[in-house]
């Protein structure tokens, strides 16, 4: 099964330039990871909650998925594809790569 992927810098350019349209960004990490740092543009749906919260996801819009390093989000992308969501895109490298390009400050 082919999962669309996007490089973090290209993704961030699209976020910053507001060219993602009506797409959604879903962060599949756990709440404690989200609390540490996250993208304001994203919505938190932890990986384990995705099966129960698929009704919150658009079937006719792009869904960008992020996690810590891109592994969990890839699994969620595969799961969503198997369940009828065709417009899923995994952000390569996850929040670690995004943080590198965005320059997040850590406390």
Q: From start to end of the chain, where are the E strands?
A: 4-6, 24-27, 43-44, 63-66, 88-91
Q: Which of 25, 67, 97, 98 is catalytic?
A: 67
DSSP character for 32?
Answer: H
17 among known catalytic residues: no
Contact between residue 27 and residue 66 where contact means Cβ atoms under 8 Å apart: yes
Active site residues: 67
């Amino acid at each position: 099964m082919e999962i669309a992927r996007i490089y973090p810098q290209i993704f961030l350019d699209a976020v910053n330039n507001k060219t993602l349209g009506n797409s959604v960004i879903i962060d599949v990490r756990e709440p404690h990871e989200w609390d540490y740092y996250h993208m304001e543009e994203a919505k938190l749906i932890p990986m384990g909650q995705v099966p129960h919260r698929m009704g919150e996801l658009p079937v006719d819009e792009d869904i960008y998925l992020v996690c810590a390093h891109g592994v969990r989000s890839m699994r969620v992308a595969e799961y969503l594809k198997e369940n009828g969501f065709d417009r899923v895109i995994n952000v390569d490298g996850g929040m670690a790569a995004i943080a590198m390009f965005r320059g997040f400050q850590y406390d």
